[in-house]
Structure 1
Amino acid sequence: MHNSPTVSHTAAIHDPTSSKPGSGSQMPASGMGTPTTVSTGLDAPWSVAFLNDTPLLSERDSSRILEVASDGSTRAVGTIQGVEGTGEGGLLGIAVDEQGRLYAYSTAAGGNRIQRFAISGKPGSLALGQAETILEDIPSASNHNGGRLAFGPDGMLYATTGDAGQRSLAQDLGSLGGKILRMTPDGDVPKDNPFSGSLVFSYGHRNPQGLAWAADGTMFATEFGQNTWDELNIITAGANYGWPTVEGIATAGGFTNPVQQWAPDRASPSGMTQRDGMLYIANLRGEVLRAVPVADPTTSTDYFGGEFGRLRDVTVAPNGALWVLTNNTDGRGTPGAEDDRILAVIPE
């Protein structure tokens, strides 16, 4: 059986300063296969990344990094020390670099931070090394922490940060809050960043939580709005995305408009990935996996409406399947008997 999709369209509005969306090397998938369950019994999971063929998972509240075995069982690779998150804070996004080192975004006493860890051992007996903090003092709160980490095609580490409930931070280029940051793997400022000496790559964000790149290098980000519009944005260096002055598509000058927007009860877009010319977005309140063609990011198709509850993250596994992370144990969902879980599905 196949999931019945829901198709939606948004008027095509592109900011003239934004680059034209590129397309992948293959035609986008036209449908979605039947999901299978990879792993169950997870506690407020937030992010999935792969160390070669081994899946790694972050749990927000336990501060643990887990490895997932082929039979779906999990074991703790390590616990991130000093995590003091409340509400939406805690252990959030993770990423793995080409050298097999783990990067983790978490909430500590003094704010959000990014730490790097060596990983030793073999699958089934992996262990975290000592923490090396590469960035700290990112504004934090019980909500609006951002928290997504991803390596771009340029080899740089990108991080999304929220406004931490202080709206003015998003427009303050002296603050790390309400931004998308770009840094070297050591946490240094790249020489070609848009603002000299600054990690800020783009600003005017409320709470971005998804990052993905098209095959031609076009960068996309998802963003939680306040009460009016959630957004999908094309990210360009130095651009201002308007928060808190505007939310969603607007006519105010000087801001970059989203390429697609949704009412928050249909979206709350979190993790995102790109596969074969299609963006896939995990949605929390909307409880859907949303597919957006890179060639026309003003349109979208929804899958699994309400079937699995809140969806926090989606990534492409080494075998090409989409791994989708549910998030019903985060205090805002209604957990099922096996929640939370990882689902695997192959677009068709």
Structure 2
Amino acid sequence: MKLGARTAAVVAVAVLAAGCQDGGDGEAQPSAGASDPTTTATAPVPSSARPSTPETTTALPQGPVRLAVAGTVATGIEVPWGLDFLPDGSALVAERDSGRIKRVAGGQAAEVGTVDGVDPSSEGGLLGLAVDPQYPRRPYVYVYYSTGDDNRIARLTYQGNRISQQQVILDGIPVAAVHNGGRLTFGPDGYLYAGTGDGREEPNSQSDESLGGKILRITTEGQAAPGNPGGRRWFSKGHRNVQGVAFGGNQLYAAEFGQDEWDELNAITNGANYGWPAAEGISGLDGMVDPIAQWRTDDASPSGIAFAQGHIFMAGLRGERLWAIPVTDGRRTGEPQAFFTGEFGRLRTVEAAPDGSLWLTTSNTDGRGDTRDGDDRILRITISR
């Protein structure tokens, strides 16, 4: 569906690098800069900076950040989706189709239990995972998952390397084979944020009474957090399919799947309307907020995002690359860089690790990728300048 006039021209960016070439399929080959010199991205920038026609360049000047693959954290994980860290530096990871949660430590991924009621589909199953910010005083883990009737958020007790006492704190989120959203994160305010999809029913995104096509903000009991619009459980609306949410300071960012033309990175504010289904990408529609960056769907199809060193890092599924977007206080402050294009296949989740690195998961066993030996894997990515 193509609705809304585009008010910003496409800015073709020369994606930055430092003499790096595509490194093939090796886990530990360093990539000092961007690996795709022709990818385009757009966001509101001064008109003087917009070329009249897209440019393609083979010059790859050094950019503001450099990424390198420091090694493989773990292999043999089936469709890793949600991932979050425990205070000891280990991590819990959710497997979408099996419903299992695994603890990753010391290069091994050991099962700690299975979430009840998971009904996997093309894009549904066990999705987001977030550790309580007061763990272990509050020994809880929160998960977002699909059932045969809806998407739900549940709280699990995690003690002794086992999950138990599954309690649904929110249900009734629209479900479909696709457009389920699913990412969870805690904000600096202590509330739980969840990205949802429209469940293939576009009116859900604009309906104040639907949980679909929204970013939710709830308490750890599943109630509406104080200050939400109209006392509802949602924080923003007008989304198509949000699979990436992350905070940079107090600013929330979200990555969103477009339909046919534009994938988006949005800066989220309380009560704002992000346009779907009237808008896809930068559209300039009254009362609706444009993204701060957009990409052709071939170049992104974004899922997880993370914030580190003044950048949003955004994993691309169809785009098979990791984007680095410089941001400050909800504004994009430079051109996005693309890293590892095609080196590891589909990329699903990226999280900032306690040691300052990024953990990046592949998603080649999800039925849409080409599986490679060791897939799916978690890679450890270091950041430098």
Q: Same fold (TM over 0.5)?
A: yes
CA positional deviation for 1:99: 3.1
Alignment pair present for 1:227 and 2:227: no
Once residues 2 and 313 of structure 1 are traced to their aligned partners in structure 2, the CA distance between those partners, rounded to angstroms, is 18
Alignment pair present for 1:106 and 2:141: no
Once residues 141 and 95 of structure 1 are traced to their aligned partners in structure 2, the CA distance between those partners, rounded to angstroms, is 23
* Structure with bigger gyration radius: 2
Once residues 84 and 32 of structure 1 are traced to their aligned partners in structure 2, the CA distance between those partners, rounded to angstroms, is 36
CA positional deviation for 1:277: 1.0
| Aligned residue number for residue 187 of structure 1 | 222
- Find the partner of 1:294 among 319, 322, 327: 327
Once residues 294 and 31 of structure 2 are traced to their aligned partners in structure 1, the CA distance between those partners, rounded to angstroms, is 27
Question: What is the CA deviation profile of residues 64-94 of structure 1, one whole-angstrom value per residue up to 9, with x for unaligned ones?
Answer: 0001121x22111100011112111100000
| Aligned residue number for residue 313 of structure 1 | 349
Alignment pair present for 1:39 and 2:74: yes
Alignment pair present for 1:150 and 2:179: no
Alignment pair present for 1:346 and 2:382: yes
| Aligned residue number for residue 296 of structure 2 | 263
Structure possessing the higher relative contact order (Cα contacts under 8 Å, 6 or more residues apart)? 1
Match of 1:212, as an amino acid? Answer: A
| Aligned residue number for residue 26 of structure 2 | none
Once residues 321 and 141 of structure 1 are traced to their aligned partners in structure 2, the CA distance between those partners, rounded to angstroms, is 35
* Residue correspondence of structure 1 range 211-290 to structure 2 within 5 A: 211-215=245-249, 217-290=250-323
Once residues 260 and 319 of structure 1 are traced to their aligned partners in structure 2, the CA distance between those partners, rounded to angstroms, is 28
Paired positions, count: 328
TM-aligned CA distance change 1:169 to 1:9, over 3 Å = closer
Once residues 11 and 48 of structure 1 are traced to their aligned partners in structure 2, the CA distance between those partners, rounded to angstroms, is 29
Aligned 8 A contact 1:29 1:278 in 2: no
TM-aligned CA distance change 1:145 to 1:99, over 3 Å = same
CA positional deviation for 1:29: 5.4
Once residues 326 and 34 of structure 1 are traced to their aligned partners in structure 2, the CA distance between those partners, rounded to angstroms, is 13
| Aligned residue number for residue 24 of structure 1 | none
Q: Which runs of 5+ in 1 are unaligned?
A: 15-27
Alignment pair present for 1:115 and 2:154: yes
CA RMSD between the two structures: 1.6
Alignment pair present for 1:2 and 2:43: no
Aligned 8 A contact 1:114 1:136 in 2: yes
| Aligned residue number for residue 60 of structure 1 | 96
CA positional deviation for 1:51: 1.5
State TM-score, norm by structure 2.
0.82
Once residues 62 and 96 of structure 1 are traced to their aligned partners in structure 2, the CA distance between those partners, rounded to angstroms, is 20
* Residue correspondence of structure 1 range 200-215 to structure 2 within 5 A: 200-215=234-249
- Find the partner of 2:85 among 50, 65, 75: 50
Once residues 175 and 209 of structure 1 are traced to their aligned partners in structure 2, the CA distance between those partners, rounded to angstroms, is 18
- Find the partner of 1:96 among 116, 126, 131: 131
CA positional deviation for 1:35: 3.7
Once residues 9 and 268 of structure 1 are traced to their aligned partners in structure 2, the CA distance between those partners, rounded to angstroms, is 13
Match of 2:42, as an amino acid? Answer: T
| Aligned residue number for residue 23 of structure 2 | none
CA positional deviation for 1:212: 1.3
TM-aligned CA distance change 1:157 to 1:106, over 3 Å = same
Aligned 8 A contact 2:133 2:186 in 1: no
TM-aligned CA distance change 1:199 to 1:9, over 3 Å = same
Once residues 32 and 308 of structure 1 are traced to their aligned partners in structure 2, the CA distance between those partners, rounded to angstroms, is 14
Match of 1:12, as an amino acid? Answer: P
- Find the partner of 2:212 among 161, 169, 177: 177
Once residues 310 and 345 of structure 2 are traced to their aligned partners in structure 1, the CA distance between those partners, rounded to angstroms, is 26
SS at match of 2:165: coil
Aligned 8 A contact 1:13 1:257 in 2: no
Determine what percentage of the aligned residue pairs are the same residue. 47
CA positional deviation for 1:13: 5.4
SS at match of 2:282: coil
Match of 1:4, as an amino acid? Answer: G
